[in-house]
Structure 1
């Protein structure tokens, strides 16, 4: 697997809300925002959500998703954000689930009180835009090394 650039790792770590776009089998689009924790070792985002939600149901049937992580800057020169493609995977293996839960609960302890399924959003392609240093500075990454 291709190593994720440090600027992307740092950005994922310093944020905690992801916006995802999903699609039903009938082709209907749906988006949702979720708290996440970044799992650097596996280059994935861990989220908690139920298959009973629209986005959870869509991900269970159509795992290819797209998403963004961004702040809310007041100026175009301060825009920093990530766009990505990923595969949503509901974690059913006990060891994987426990490892992911440990990461998530460390970042979001209140989530221990919620009953929910644990998902990995396995990142395939990532584009990071950072206007703070140079306007429209882009960094690209893909799991297979092809940009």
Structure 2
């Protein structure tokens, strides 16, 4: 994947952070949000996370295979430093051993409590970075 300025900024932001909010919808159309720790695969533009199959968000994205949304935000009271990203994509089971390696490299202590691994393939992203100018938006599309 060619490195563009937008791509570089987005990847840099995702690598610096580790918690995303995942938004799902169940089969009846009811929304749900959950927070999760993620490892970022820059090469594939994917977020890798672990979660038990019994959780509501896993049931949502396995029963209702529609796209999910996620966000990662830098919390700051200083408006000029606000940054955040909104993502859409699809979640799949992380069957490849490389996902486990990447996740454990980021969170070594997770080896003691590792549940099922999942991958959120980023299809679109909108990154806001007020340090680049108030309300400056950068976009990524697969």
TM-score by length of 1: 0.90
Structure 2 equivalent of residue 121 of structure 1: 120
Corresponding residue SS for 1:42: coil
Partner of 1:8, secondary structure, is helix
Shift of 1:91: 2.1
Q: 1:91 & 1:51 partners in 2: Cα distance?
A: 13
**Match for 1:65 among 63, 68, 93?**
68
CA distance in 2, matches of 1:123, 1:61: 20
For residues 45 and 141 of structure 1, do their structure 2 counterparts lie closer, same or farther at Cα, with a shift above 3 Å needed?
A: same
Q: Give the direction of change, closer, same or farther, for the CA distance of 1:13–1:115 in structure 2 (3 Å limit).
A: closer
Structure 2 residue 103 is the aligned partner of structure 1 residue 104 = yes
CA deviations over 1:6-42 (Å, ceiling 9, x no partner)? 0001000000000010011111111000000000111
The unaligned stretches of length 5 or more in structure 1 are none
Q: List structure 1 runs of 4+ shifted beyond 3 angstroms.
A: 1-4
Q: Shift in Å at residue 132 of structure 1?
A: 1.2
What is the correspondence of 1:1-147 to structure 2 with a 5 Å cutoff? 5-63=7-65, 64-92=67-95, 96=96, 98-143=97-142
Once the two structures are TM-superposed, the CA of residue 62 in structure 1 deviates from its matched residue by 2.2
* Structure-2-length-normalised TM-score: 0.93
CA distance in 1, matches of 2:19, 2:90: 17
Q: Secondary structure at the match of 1:81?
A: strand
Is there any run of 5+ residues in structure 2 with no aligned partner, and where?
A: none
Aligned residues: 139
RMSD (CA atoms): 1.4
